[in-house]
Amino acid sequence: MDLPEGLDWVRGSSAGRAWLAALPTWLTECAERWSLRVGPPFRQAYASLALPAHLPDGTTAVLKLQYPDEESRHEADALARWDGDAAIRLLAHDPGRRALLLERCQPGTPLHDLPPDRALDVVIGLLPRLWRPAGAPFTPLAQEAAGWINRMPRAWERAGRPYERRLLDAALDLLTGLASSQGEQVLVNQDLHAGNILAADALAADRGPWLAIDPKPLTGEREFSVVPMVRGPELGHSPAAVRHRLHRLSTGLGLDPERVRGWTIGHTLAWSVADDTVFPEKIEVVRWLLDTD
């Protein structure tokens, strides 16, 4: 199978190799089950195999086979909860194969192709439509934060202490305080960056022109939901750009900027080391936000 280069990392573990070995069979079985014609995989893939597909009536779709991580386990549940409002629509789901059949955004232009402030305007209009009251089966943000707090010191040591201890201590303190003092719990997405919002001009006018894709859902307070957009490099990677996004999104959405800042520091540092791989750009974001004190 011709896999996107972004999926090369899965070969590094036995679980990843087992998933890769199963993909050809699952792809064939899903295509048969849903009577799909599938094309070559999309090349921009890092956590799943996604392929363009056509249904028997000619409808365009996307077949997505997820890598079986915990963060995306409830993607289908989130898409079903939104039911096409501000997000792509789930057409079918095979939980056993972690396979999703999704409508296809067309033209599919990513949000980061817009000038940064116009992109932020889109986010300010989109996010309130995604803030739905939610409980089970979604993981609470407080529970997820407890996991980050537990794992971060060990990951830091294992990776050779790739950043200053002060960053770790600050992130742990912030996460501890924020997790226990949250506001109203709604459905939030811990991966809503500017590459995961696509143009959907061809869909109904009351749903487009921009829709969210690839959610990693949790239930938590609204301030957490803008974290990926604040830290993401797609709309500019500099101290000024990060601080500007924090201010614009907090102001435009009526959020507490200090809580947004705290969640961004904690979550970004938690995601700065994964399986001993260090992401220096995330560590930079944490430094920039801490050094505003």
Annotated active-site positions, please?
Answer: 191
Q: What is the DSSP string of the chain?
A: ----GGGGGGGGSHHHHHHHHHHHHHHHHHHHHTT-EE-SPPS--SSEEEEEEE-TTS-EEEEEEE---STTTTHHHHHHHHTTSSBPPEEEEEGGGTEEEEEPPSS--BGGGS-HHHHHHHHHHHHHHH--B-BTBSPBHHHHHHHHHHHHHHHHHHTT--S-HHHHHHHHHHHHHHHTS--S-EEEETT--TTSEEE-TTS-TTT-SEEE-S--EEEE-GGGGGHHHHH-GGG--SHHHHHHHHHHHHHHHT--HHHHHHHHHHHHHHTSEETTEE-HHHHHHHHHHHTT-
Give whole-number Cα distances, 81 to 84, 98, 129, 187, 236, in Å.
9, 18, 11, 9, 32
Q: Closest Cα to residue 38, out of 110, 109, 102, 107?
A: 102
Please work out, in degrees rounded to the nearest 5, the angle formed at the alpha carbon of residue 262 by the alpha carbons of 256 and 268.
130
Note whether 80 and 66 are within 8 A (CB): no
Tokens of 66: 């997820």
